[in-house]
Amino acid sequence: MADFDDKKNSATSKAIIFLVEDRSTQAELIVLLLNKIGFNKVRVFLDANSALEAFHDNPEAVDMIISDFNMPEMSGVDLLIAVRTSKFNNKVPFVVVSGIHNTNAALTASHHGADAFIAKPFDHYKLAEKIKPLLLHQSVSLT
């Protein structure tokens, strides 16, 4: 089980996370879960195109992307592919979340370079278990 005594840890308190979720109520819930485990710098995007534009504007300003799998216009996997083929910060940790509970969604995300896949619904323990190690192993210093 994840240790939550380190909420003020610099890796969590300084990390900037892009959260891409087309349903605002889901986005609010995920932000609350991220806050609960010490991530307070979360930028919410309700569509992948806006997130990609912000990423291209300043790719070094994001430490992790958490994106829904299934969204209108541009899916989370399409966003993942765009980030992974970018010239800058293309190794940024990328987590795909989905309400689709089958192995095809996870395999598709993994095939295109996702660092983790989390099936909805999830709690803060599961979220911490998946994302904290990714930031700890990230080559970009968060200090």
DSSP letter for 39, please. Answer: -
Backbone angles phi, psi at 79, to 5 degrees: -65, -45
- What is the residue extent of each domain of the chain? 10-124
Burial 43-65 (b: 16+ CB within 10 A, else e): bbbbbbbebbebbeeeeeebbbb
> 139 pLDDT exceeds 60?
no
Flag whether pLDDT at 96 surpasses 70: yes
Residue entry with tokens 């598709």:
108
Residue 101: band (very low, low, confident or very high) from pLDDT cuts 50, 70, 90:
confident
Residue with tokens 């765009």: 82
For tokens 């190794």, the residue is: 91
Cα–Cα distance for residue pair 68/109, rounded to 1 Å: 11
Say which CATH architecture domain 10-124 belongs to.
3-Layer(aba) Sandwich (3.40)
Confidence of residue 20 (pLDDT cuts 50, 70, 90): very high
Per-residue pLDDT tens digits for 26-47: 999 999 999 999 999 999 999 9
pLDDT confidence of 140, banded at 50, 70, 90? very low
Provide DSSP, 9-24.
-HHHHH-EEEEE-SSH
H or E element in which residue 48 lies: helix 48-57
What pTM value is reported for the model?
0.88
